[in-house]
Amino acid sequence: MKRGPLGGTGLEVSELGFGAAPLGRDPGGIDAVHAALELGITFFDVSPYYGRTVAETVLGKALRGVERSAYVLATKVGRYGDADFDFSARRVTRSVHESLDRLGTGHLDLVLCHDIEFGDLGQVVRETIPALRALQEIGLVGAVGVSGFPLPALAHVVERTPVDAVLSYCQYTLQNRRLAAWRERFARHGTAVINASPLSMGALTDRGAPPWHPAPAEVLRQCARAAELCRARGEDLARVALRFAVTTGGFASTLVGAADPEEVRRDVRWIGEPVDDDLLRAVEECLAPVRDRSWPSGRPENQDPGGTA
């Protein structure tokens, strides 16, 4: 498993990261964490929002006894339920201490403000980030970052206060490559970029998107057609999509969720296996009519507060 620097944070992360959100739904995922470590995955991302703290608790159990320097641990603050957002300094400070307890560690390598588009971006700049920097000064927090879906919201914060890393999901995939266009904008401010959900929350899989998927119907139809195209050639769209995102994106790490050790082993195997160039071109042609099509997320005023890349 390749590793590389996470911008200027001093952290080194694996090119494939472990997204721990599924541990909130499947507490039996401890074996998946162990499989990830065995295969060289060293970057683990979680949040108190996932499973209402269950994912953090399970991940903490799975990492118990593992040399702390052997992995990079990221969690989040600010989101605690579907409609429970609190980016106040007091709450995020308490949240970090709660996460430390659940994860069984003395420090967090990276703390991200979770889905900032649902909050007041001004508060994130003036209050949330400074609160995390204060925790950084006493050694509880390493790097500080922001996460979310609308790239202009992330840029709005990055351009107003120092941010070590940003994390966005479904924004660098076979269907949507907008994150690549924003990378230089973030880099100008010394901010590293983490890609997440390269399978677009299930849309780029043989199984297809779940009923709650927020993408426009036309996007989901084209993704389903791409899956059919792959099946007709004896291929799995998820493998094509995962390898594409990891090997072409140029991001520090790409996060993929898993709760089953076999899924972890499959994902690691997939990124090392070449994809037929003709098939990739055919899939790209299939998705071309909906390339870079997105959807709104969060408060209306946070969709484009900082302009476009």
pLDDT at 28 (0 to 100): 83
Compute the half-sphere exposure of residue 139: CA atoms within 13 Å on the CB side of its CA: 2
**DSSP code per residue over 167-219:** EEESSSSSS--HHHHHHHHHHTTT-EEEEE-TTTTTTTSSS---TT--S-HHH
Which residue ranges make up each domain of the chain? 3-200+244-275
Over the range 214-231, which residues count as b (16 or more CB within 10 Å of their CB) and which as e? Answer: ebeeebbebbbebbebbe
Q: How far apart are CA 9 and CA 168, in angstroms?
A: 18
Contacts of 239 (CB under 8 A, 6+ apart): 270, 273, 275
Per-residue confidence (pLDDT) for residue 307, from 0 to 100: 57
> How many Å apart are CA 29 and CA 33, to the nearest integer?
7
Q: Which of 179, 144, 164, 196 lies closest to 17, judged by CA?
A: 196
Joined together, the tokens standing for residue 299 give 């408060």
Question: Would you call 172 a catalytic residue per the annotation?
Answer: no
The active-site residue out of 49, 50, 71, 172 is 50
User: Looking at the predicted structure, is the pLDDT value of residue 206 above 60?
Assistant: yes
Full-model pTM: 0.97
In the chain the beta strands, taken as DSSP E runs, fall at 3-5, 12-14, 16-19, 43-45, 72-77, 79-81, 84-85, 108-113, 141-148, 165-169, 192-196, 253-257
230: left (phi over 0), alpha (psi -120 to 50) or beta: alpha
Hey, which residues does 256 pair with through a beta bridge? 18
Query: What kind and span of H or E run contains 284?
Result: helix 277-287
Q: Tell me: pLDDT of 284 over 90.
A: yes
Token output for 21: 């959100």
* pLDDT of 37 over the 70 cut: yes
Question: If we measure between CA atoms, which residue out of 154, 118, 176 comes closest to residue 306?
Answer: 154
Q: Which two tokens stand for residue 141?
A: 């927090």
pLDDT digits (tens, 9 = 90+) for 209-242: 999 999 999 999 999 999 999 999 999 999 999 9
Contact 114, 79 (CB under 8 A): yes
Distance of CA 202 to CAs 70, 86, 210, Å? 30, 28, 7
pLDDT tens column, 153-190: 999 999 999 999 999 999 999 999 999 999 999 999 99
pLDDT at 31 over 70: yes
Is 227 within 8 Å of 240 (Cβ atoms)? no
CB 145 within 8 A of CB 190: no
- Helix 151-158 to helix 178-187 angle, to the nearest 10 degrees? 0
Contact 274, 216 (CB under 8 A): no
* pLDDT confidence bin for 296, thresholds 50/70/90: very high
Mean pLDDT of 134-139: 98
User: Does residue 24 carry a pLDDT above 60?
Assistant: yes
3-200+244-275 is a CATH 3.40.630.30 domain: no
Question: pLDDT tens digits, residue range 71-107?
Answer: 999 999 999 999 999 999 999 999 999 999 999 999 9
> What's the rounded Cα separation, in Å, for the pair 302 and 285?
32
The mean pLDDT of the chain is 97
pLDDT at 309 over 60: no
Q: What is the pLDDT of residue 27?
A: 82
